[in-house]
Amino acid sequence: MTSPRTIVILGSGYTGHWIYRLAAQRSLPIQASSRRPDHHLIDIEPPARIRFDLEEPTTWAALPPDADLIWTFPAIPLEQVQAFARHCCRPQRRLVVLGSTSAYDTGGTAVVDPPHWIDETHPINTDLSRVQGEEYLRTHHGATILRVAGIYGPNRNPVEWIRQGRVGPSNKYVNLIHVEDLAHLCLLALQHGRTGETYNVSDGHPRRWADVCAEVSGRWGIVSPREAGCSESGKRIHNHKILSQFGYTLRHPDFYRALQSIQPDTDRTLSL
């Protein structure tokens, strides 16, 4: 029986730490990288820390040559993405890149309410810098792209977003995914993701912020300081492809039950 390949997380922020913990629980060989590993990765054993900076080519040699990669930060600037990929992305290496559902281009279409469902065939906005980087990695190096909805979980609590006025009771739809489900899907993408394919990552239940705010107010008495207002209708992201192809069942399909489990909580700003 062959040993599992080492996994390296490129950029170990909020999501990266969850991926690391899950892989470690499964006894998978896993390493995490950061521009400042001794500062940002203090909860990870020193042998598993790697100093990596996309914009410092001298750090690229620290990556194990036969490791698979999970890229968790925006794929910018394009020139550095291209240079790194040419140097490090060998054909035998699996590469999973975390993108964003903001890539989907809804401009120039008639506004409908509720908005149409968006699957992986929907046009993307290639004017966005990170989308250019993701598409280069996908088309030239066979990367599997995960277009990720809004990430929430412990220490990243939508109730706190409402309390702080970062969001308010608008009619805009929001798509969300619990970080634990995202971590599971990232590891599954290395096993089951098809090279050069794109997958949407969402819980599949888009909600209006107005409805979320009303539920939070009713359950916890927390009201956004923002007044109700009109806004764009947002998006409704379809997640059937990833769940069916990966054979995955969401651990947190019930958003409000998940919120209950992380209340009370302190929201901290961490990178993807």
pLDDT value of residue 267:
43
Compute CA distances 63 → 23, 38, 42, 88, 233, whole Å.
Answer: 18, 17, 19, 9, 43
Domains of the chain: 74-152+177-203+236-250 (3.40.50.720)
pLDDT value of residue 180:
98
Its pTM stands at 0.94
Tell me the two tokens of residue 121.
Answer: 């065939």
Higher pLDDT, 232 or 21: 21
Taking only the tens place, the pLDDT of each residue in 207-217 is 999 999 999 99
Pairing status of strand 207-208 against strand 173-174: antiparallel
pLDDT value of residue 77:
97
Taking only the tens place, the pLDDT of each residue in 178-207 is 999 999 999 999 999 999 999 999 999 999
pLDDT value of residue 1:
53
Side chain identity, residue 212: V
Taking only the tens place, the pLDDT of each residue in 221-271 is 999 999 887 667 899 999 999 999 999 999 999 999 999 999 775 444 344
Residue by residue, what is the 3-state secondary structure of 159-186? HHHHHCCCCCCCCCEECEEEHHHHHHHH
Distance CA 165, CA 127 (A): 30
Taking only the tens place, the pLDDT of each residue in 97-134 is 999 999 997 666 667 889 999 999 999 999 999 999 99
